[in-house]
Amino acid sequence: MDEDSGVIGQSRIGYTRIMEEKMSTNINYAKETVKRKSAKTDRSVSGRAAVREKKKQMERYEQQEKRRASRIQVDQNVVLLSWIIGIGTAFLASAIVSFNGITSVAKFVGLSAGWMSGLFFFFVEIMYLLFLVAYLVVSSRIDDDGKPERTSGPLWGMISFGSIAVLANAFHTFDYWNWAWVEPRMWAGVILSISAPIAIISASKMASRVVFARAIRL
């Protein structure tokens, strides 16, 4: 009987332990469930709060925009086309200004006929124009590696023939004033005569960035 009682007692103890472990497992599972629900609730609450804050920001932005004056979108075809027309007009004006200087200096070459001096003008201006177009075209391209094409050749050609026009205009102005180095009007004329070709070079380089599109590697 004592042995049977001991076996029964051990069985009860083992059963009690099993039940305690199950209860502990159920309690832990319940706690984890409560934590997950609480975390989900917190995320839901924080998500709703973020949505409300976003709506408030949009409302404040709309109110701010209503108070502002209307704005004009500058980056449009009309503006870019006007920019191109402006550069073309400036180039024509620069060519007319340079005509006097180039033809006057061309006479020092010793031409057999006076009308030949005009050929130097067309040669310089046409070469400048060709290098200008080449620069704008090459600057809009990319090579096989997706890198921008080198524009040093067309750029230096454009600068070289532009410099010829600058030097010819400056020389003609100096010669007109008989190289009077202390005459301020001579220096004013020199600055004005060389400003036109320099402005065209600067505007042409800017046109490659503002007006003309660049190729994109797909």
Specify which of 28-42, 52-66, 184-198 reaches the highest per-range mean pLDDT.
184-198
Is pLDDT of 91 > 70? yes
Q: Do residue 115 and residue 181 come from a single domain?
A: yes
Q: Are residues 24 and 88 in the same domain?
A: no
What is the rounded CA–CA span in Å between residue 127 and residue 135?
12
| Percent of the chain predicted with pLDDT > 70 | 70
3 pLDDT higher than 50: no
Comparing 88 with 39, the larger pLDDT belongs to 88
Q: Do 120 and 199 share a domain, yes or no?
A: yes
81 shares a domain with 57: no
> Residue 187: which pLDDT band, with cuts at 50, 70 and 90?
very high
At residue 17 the predicted structure's pLDDT band, cuts being 50, 70 and 90, is: low
101 shares a domain with 5: no
| Residue 164 resides in a domain | yes
In terms of domains, do 85 and 66 share one? Answer: no
Q: Are the CB atoms for 194 and 166 separated by under 8 Å? A: yes
- Taking 60 as the threshold, does the pLDDT of residue 61 lie above it? yes
Q: Is the pLDDT of residue 95 over 50?
A: yes
Structure tokens at 166: 């600058």
Confidence of residue 50 (pLDDT cuts 50, 70, 90): confident
pLDDT (mean) for 85-104: 83
pLDDT category, 47, cuts 50, 70, 90?
low
pLDDT band at 4 (very low <50, low <70, confident <90, very high): very low
Is-above-0.95 flag for pTM? no
pLDDT score recorded for residue 161: 86
Model confidence pLDDT, tens digit, residues 97-144:
888 888 888 888 887 777 888 888 888 888 888 888 888 788 777 777
3 state SS of 190: helix
Task: Report how far residue 109's alpha carbon sits from residue 117's, in angstroms, rounded to the nearest whole number.
Answer: 9
Do residue 169 and residue 86 come from a single domain?
yes
- Mean pLDDT, residues 8-20 taken together: 54
Considering only CA atoms, which of 84, 86, 94, 79 is closest in space to residue 208? 84
Please provide the size of the chain in residues. 218
In-domain check, residue 9 = yes
In a domain, 217, yes or no: no
Domain final position from 71, 97, 112: 71
Q: Is position 216 within any domain?
A: no
Domain of 84 in residue numbering reads as: 77-210
Residues 123, 60 within the same domain: no
State the average pLDDT for the chain. 75
- 57 and 3, same structural domain? yes
Is 154 or 26 the better-scoring residue by pLDDT? 154
Handedness of CA 92, 189, 124, 80 (dihedral sign): negative
Q: Is residue 218 part of a domain?
A: no
CA dist 176 and 186 (Å) reads: 8
Q: What CA–CA distance (Å, rounded) separates 127 from 157?
A: 8
Query: What is the SS3 assignment for 142?
Result: strand
Let me know whether 96 and 187 are in one domain: yes
Domain total of the chain:
2
